Structure 1
């Protein structure tokens, strides 16, 4: 073999060796990722479920607070109506007393 053939063959051998190393390293990395993936998916799913539960509890508290506020507002309105009724009764009683006093 001539020097140029030997040099070309040496270059091809080194290229093949580097490509083989890269493929082996990539396969090992892929294997590691594939082994970790189920755990990562499980962790993400667990985290997502916790977030959904926390959000549903927040919405429930918000709904309860809104209902409580609405209930308090309703009581306040009822209280105002009752005060108005009481004031009207008082006025009616006073008017009746005036009328009876004049008769």
Structure 2
């Protein structure tokens, strides 16, 4: 075997060895993630529940304790309809602008 062949084989061995270490490191990292996943999911779920409770309390304080019955009053229905009308108008305007932009292209 010539020195060129030995150099080529040595380079190939080192590349394979480094790739093997990379795969082993990735597998170890994945194993750690799999082991930690249930705890992280539980922590995230608990945090989410706390955030929802805090938000509900904040909304109650801001709304003066309005209940669901008060929100479904005729006045709020008219207000909701008015908001929906405005939203529909904005959507129509955005669609119109989109068509104009496409026509120019």
- The TM-score range, normalised by the shorter chain, is 0.5 to 0.7
What is the correspondence of 1:50-89 to structure 2 with a 5 Å cutoff? 50-64=50-64
Partner of 1:23: 23
Normalising to structure 2: TM-score of the pair?
Answer: 0.56
**More off after superposition, 33-42 vs 4-13:** 33-42
Consecutive unaligned residues in structure 2, runs of 5 or more: 67-105
Structure 1 unaligned segments of length 5 or more: list them: 67-103
Distance in 2, matches of 1:57 and 1:8, equals 69
| Larger Rg over CA atoms | 1
The whole-number CA distance in structure 2 between the counterparts of 1:62 and 1:35 is 42
| CA deviation after TM superposition for structure 1 residue 65, in Å | 6.0
Root mean square deviation, CA, Å: 2.0
Higher helix share: 1
Kindly report structure 1 stretches of 4+ aligned residues shifted beyond 6 Å: none
Aligned length: 67
